[in-house]
Amino acid sequence: MIGVGLIGCGYWGPNLLRNFSDLTEVVAVADLKEERLKHISGRYPAVKMTTDYEDLLHDDRIEAVVIATPVNSHFEIALGALQAGKHVFVEKPLTTSSKHAEILINEAERRNRVLMVDHTFVYTGAVRKIRELVQSGEMGDVLYYDSVRINLGLFQHDVNVIWDLAVHDLAIMDYILPHRPCAVSATGCSHLQGEPENIAYLTLFFEDLSIAHVHVNWLSPVKIRRTLIGGSKKMVVYDDLEPSEKVKVYDKGITLSEDTRYRLQVGYRAGDMWAPQLDNSEALRTEAQHFLWCIQTGEQPLTDGHAGLRLVRILEAASESINDRGKLVELEAWRLAA
């Protein structure tokens, strides 16, 4: 049994606590709000409760720390945990800057500790199936990724809607697409004075001429989680809110041919639609198991610190683009300049 400590028990923390408690021993939970701890202690009477997260870092029974706090606190807490010799699982995004992410990666590697980022969607049966379809070549060349991820709230005060919602799509793309983005453009707006952008549009460009577009919004009357992935052979519709058949594969597309005057003729192909069988295991449970397995075996996590760093770099570039009304930011040039 690997002793685990949870830091932060607000919105996402209880889900992490439930899953890790089912898999291993949760020794202690830390949260600044005593009312949260009182609520949690009623369900987990054997777990130690504290308002000081450093109590967990000094507890020899705790081998791994799970961090579910606001983004701007991730770096300080994760660095302290690594320096205390703990393995670290941190909620997305990894940090608020690529510089801080690099420090955490180096610290984890220097101390031979697991650093894993909570990119939950990577561990869903739906996203794993889409990756399988892409890697097998069944979809052909990926032409575009188009996503809408909108709802009413939860408004964040330390990061904008791209850092909160679009990071999910960035994690999915990082996992399923064969190429990584080379440039980014983003536009957005805040409708609350002094608060981060609550609506944004993010466009990613790839060297293989594919393109990705993500629309995120905290101020929508409806909740939508729908993604279209277009391939040269087949296309996928992924709707995470569907109770069943979250992934639908369409044998639809276009065919090109030349007529007698050497002009391209566009034809349309309309075949069958099918919904593949998916693994319905809870993604967070699969992810927690993977974290514990990596601690036991020394295996590199699927969503390790380097994956977290790649996303933070895109998010930073997107924020720069928003501040300059959609200016195209070349990711490699931006990274070297930073």
Amino acid at position 229, single letter: I
* pLDDT of 253: 81
pLDDT, one tens digit per residue, over 100-116 is: 999 999 999 999 999 99
* pLDDT of 258: 67
State how far the Cα of 17 lies from the Cα of 292, in Å rounded to an integer.
Answer: 14
30 forms bridges with which residues in the sheet? 7, 50
Burial of 273 (0-12, 13-18, 19+ CB in 10 A): middle
* pLDDT of 301: 98
pLDDT, one tens digit per residue, over 59-85 is: 999 999 999 999 999 999 999 999 999
pLDDT band with cut points at 50, 70 and 90 for residue 37: very high
Residue 141 has pLDDT above 80, yes or no: yes
**Pairing of the two strands 247-258 and 199-206:** unpaired
pLDDT, one tens digit per residue, over 235-289 is: 999 999 999 999 999 998 877 766 655 666 777 878 899 999 999 999 999 999 9
* pLDDT of 154: 85
Per-residue DSSP letter, 304: B
* pLDDT of 333: 63
SS3 (DSSP) at 94:
coil
pLDDT band with cut points at 50, 70 and 90 for residue 38: very high
* pLDDT of 260: 55
pLDDT band with cut points at 50, 70 and 90 for residue 120: very high
Look up the pTM and report it: 0.94
Inter-axis angle of helices 305-323 and 167-176, nearest 10: 130
| Count of other CB atoms within 10 angstroms of residue 274 | 12
